Structure 1
Amino acid sequence: MVPMIYSLYGFAIFFFIFWCAMWLIHLVAIFYGKYRLHNKPTAIDSDVPLPGISIIKPLMGVDPNLFTNLETFFTMNYPKYEILFCVEDDTDPAIMLVNSLMEKYPKVDAKLFIGASLVGVNPKINNMNKAYDAASYEFILISDSGIKMKEDTLLDMMRFMSDKTALVHQMPFTCDRDGFAGTLEKIYFGTAQSRIYLTADFIRINCHTGMSALLRKSALDDIGGLQAFGCYLAEDFFMAKAFTDRGWRITICSQPALQNSGICNVNSFQARLTRWAKLRVAMLPLFILVEPLSECMVIGAGASWAVNILFKWDVLGFYLVHILLWFICDWILLSIIQNGSLPFNKFDFVVGWLFRECSGPYLFLLALFDPEIRWRSRIYRLEWGGIAQEIKPRLKL
């Protein structure tokens, strides 16, 4: 009987400590986000020329926002850069769109590469490899097709690229979009995602996502270039890990990445979150335990039981106060990241926030019981450590 009581108190102490740690993460994200994000760039020394940047844009297919997104790369306020578009299939309709933009902006140095190199199972790496080999400059910006840029984004990213830094990346966020799916995306990336992302950057833990990342090419070449990461689907994580293992710094810039994909619905968004969860579990198995406990509803239930065991506090009252405070902190953090008026009212936020918090644990369980990764027309199986095997190869060379 006595060992059982000790075990009970041990679990209660664990839940309570984990709950306190989550609140510390909330506070760090809020204060660090306020300090780090949306800072005005310092004056640029005109006597020191800015280094050139090669922008690699892997493309596949066309969505309603692709033209608008790509056009923002032709109108950036940066003195020297090139845009290297990569298309795997010579029948891809994105080719026509890219050609029209190059004709519209003839003064911008832009090139189109058609056809992929087979250097691994990762289709993004295969698609980009030719452009990477042809890049003219020391710094490489890898940018997904759904990213929309501001005119000064390159300047913002470059000012964080110190001599000891190999990677500057943008924290994922979204453009303002109509509809419940757009609201849900903004809530997720402005709360659950950014809370962990900002805290990880503050304590210098690898949190890199590769949707918009500025790389030092010489540092990447020293570890084998892009092709060295062709065996992974989460090439961004392993690339950042390789940098930090060699003593390089990685950091976020002050502007979040503005995702603006033309496909915006709840099903595709949840499929994306499930795919990311599968990758995290394969790369870091500890997430099987940690990730569910980081969810508001789950850790709140555990902490409510814990404080009842330890302090005899009311379970329901504690749980409701926990949810309310978590909700308020998420609203504050989202407002900081938005840096302006939100495109929805407080009622929409309540509905979207509750939907996200309640569906999060379900999506994680779905990822555990269906480990195969489906990306566009391809299917992959992950091994522990993150190495991927393509089940149905469909690469056209």
Structure 2
Amino acid sequence: MMPMVYTVYGFAIFFIVAWVCLWLIHIMAYSYSKWKLHRTVDRSPPEQPYPGVSILKPLTGVDPNLFSNLETFFTLDYPSYELLFCVENEHDPAVMLVNSLIHKHPHIDARLFTGGLRVGVNPKINNMQPAYLAAKYPMVLISDAGIRMRDDSLLDMVQHMRDDVAIVHQMPFTCDAEGFAGVYEKVLFGTAQARLYLGADFLGINCHVGMSSLVRRCALEEAGGLRAFADYLAEDYFMAKDIVSRGWRMRVASLPALQNSGTRSVGALQARLRRWARLRIAMVPTMALLEPLTECMPLGAGAAWAAGQLFGAEPLPFFLVHVLVWFLSDWLMLRSVQNGSPPFTKVQFLLGWVWSECCAPFVLAAALLSPEISWRTRCYRLDWGGRAHELNPKLKF
């Protein structure tokens, strides 16, 4: 009987400790966001010239916002940069769109690379490899197709690049969009994702997401260049891990990365979240056990039970207060990340927040039950540690 009692109390203490730690992360992330995000970019002339930046833009297909997204890179307020567009297939409709932008902005140094170069499993790195080899500047910005840039975003990133820093990355966020999918996406990236991203950065944990990442090329070459990470689908995580292990530092920029996909849907976002969850589980298997404790509902239920066991608290009122305070703190976090009021009502926020929180455990469960990863037209299986193998690979890249 006594071992059972000790086991119950052990689990109860574990849940209470996890609950306290998560609330400390809430406070830490919100405070850090108020200090870190949306700081004024210094546009005064520097004492030393800013380094040149080679911007790699891997593209596949065209969506309704691609033209306007790409055009923001032609209007950056930065003295010296080149645009290197990468398209895997020369018959891809993105080729015509890129050529039209190059023709429209002849004063910008821009080139198009087609065909890619197969150096591993990761199609994004294969697509970028020829442009990376041709890049002429000491800084490389890897930027996904769906990113929309403010004119001062690149300047902000470069100003964070100190002598001991090798990676400056933007925290993932989203542009304003209409419809429930747009609300869901903004709530997700402005609350749960932002909290963990900022908390990890504050604590010095690798949270690198490569959708908009400025890398010092010499540091990347020390690690073997892009091709060194071509056998991983989560190349951004392993790139940061390798570079930081060599003594370099990593920083988050003040301006978030503005994702602006032209085809938003709840299903597409959840498929993306499942893919990310599978990658995290393969890279760090303990995440499968600990990740539910970062979510409001599972953590609140466990803490409510634990409070009843340890302190005689009523579980239901404890749980309801927990959810209410979590909801209010997420509203404050979203306002901080948005740098103002979000483009929807509090009722819409409530609906998006409830949907996001209720779906999170099911997204993780789906990732555990189906280990294969679908990425566009390809399918992969991951080994423990994150190395990927393509299933039914194409004979020719």
TM-score scaled by structure 2?
0.99
Corresponding residue for residue 211 of structure 2: 211
| Residue type at the aligned position of 2:227 | Q
Q: What SS does the corresponding residue of 1:254 show, helix, strand or coil? A: coil
In the alignment, is residue 370 of structure 1 matched against residue 382 of structure 2?
no
> Distance in 2 between the 1:214 and 1:142 partners?
6
Q: What SS does the corresponding residue of 2:379 show, helix, strand or coil? A: strand
Per-residue CA distance 1:148-204 (angstroms, 9 max, x = gap): 000000110001000000000000000000000000000000011010000111111
Corresponding residue for residue 301 of structure 1: 301
> Distance in 2 between the 1:361 and 1:29 partners?
22
Corresponding residue for residue 100 of structure 2: 100
Q: What SS does the corresponding residue of 1:307 show, helix, strand or coil? A: helix
When the two chains are superposed, the root-mean-square deviation of aligned CA atoms in Å is 0.8
Residue 47 of structure 1 and its aligned partner are, at CA, apart by 3.8
Q: What SS does the corresponding residue of 1:320 show, helix, strand or coil? A: helix
Q: What SS does the corresponding residue of 1:390 show, helix, strand or coil? A: strand
Q: What SS does the corresponding residue of 1:42 show, helix, strand or coil? A: coil
> Distance in 2 between the 1:35 and 1:57 partners?
30
Q: What SS does the corresponding residue of 1:288 show, helix, strand or coil? A: helix
**For the Cα contact (< 8 Å) 1:278–1:371, is it kept in 2?**
yes
Aligned 1:228-307 pairs, distance under 5 A:
228-307=228-307
Per-residue CA distance 1:292-324 (angstroms, 9 max, x = gap): 111100000000000000000011000000000
With over 3 angstroms needed to count, the CA separation of the structure-2 counterparts of 1:396 and 1:93, relative to structure 1, is farther
Aligned 1:189-208 pairs, distance under 5 A:
189-208=189-208
> Distance in 2 between the 1:392 and 1:162 partners?
44
Corresponding residue for residue 7 of structure 1: 7
> Distance in 2 between the 1:88 and 1:68 partners?
21
**For the Cα contact (< 8 Å) 1:88–1:396, is it kept in 2?**
no
With over 3 angstroms needed to count, the CA separation of the structure-2 counterparts of 1:227 and 1:221, relative to structure 1, is same
Aligned 1:119-138 pairs, distance under 5 A:
119-138=119-138
Q: What SS does the corresponding residue of 2:204 show, helix, strand or coil? A: coil
> Distance in 1 between the 2:393 and 2:8 partners?
50
Per-residue CA distance 1:221-269 (angstroms, 9 max, x = gap): 0110000000000000000000111111011000000000111000000
Q: What SS does the corresponding residue of 1:56 show, helix, strand or coil? A: strand
> Distance in 1 between the 2:7 and 2:86 partners?
57
| Residue type at the aligned position of 2:5 | I
Where structure 1 has 5 or more consecutive residues not aligned to the other structure, the ranges are none
> Distance in 2 between the 1:220 and 1:264 partners?
33
Residue 116 of structure 1 and its aligned partner are, at CA, apart by 1.2
Residue 395 of structure 1 and its aligned partner are, at CA, apart by 6.7
Q: What SS does the corresponding residue of 1:247 show, helix, strand or coil? A: coil
> Distance in 2 between the 1:210 and 1:184 partners?
22
Q: What SS does the corresponding residue of 1:150 show, helix, strand or coil? A: coil
Residue 48 of structure 1 and its aligned partner are, at CA, apart by 1.5
Q: What SS does the corresponding residue of 1:177 show, helix, strand or coil? A: coil
Percent of counterpart pairs with the same letter?
Answer: 58
Corresponding residue for residue 145 of structure 1: 145
Q: What SS does the corresponding residue of 1:86 show, helix, strand or coil? A: strand
> Distance in 1 between the 2:36 and 2:380 partners?
37
| Residue type at the aligned position of 2:125 | I
> Distance in 2 between the 1:253 and 1:271 partners?
27
Residue 44 of structure 1 and its aligned partner are, at CA, apart by 3.7
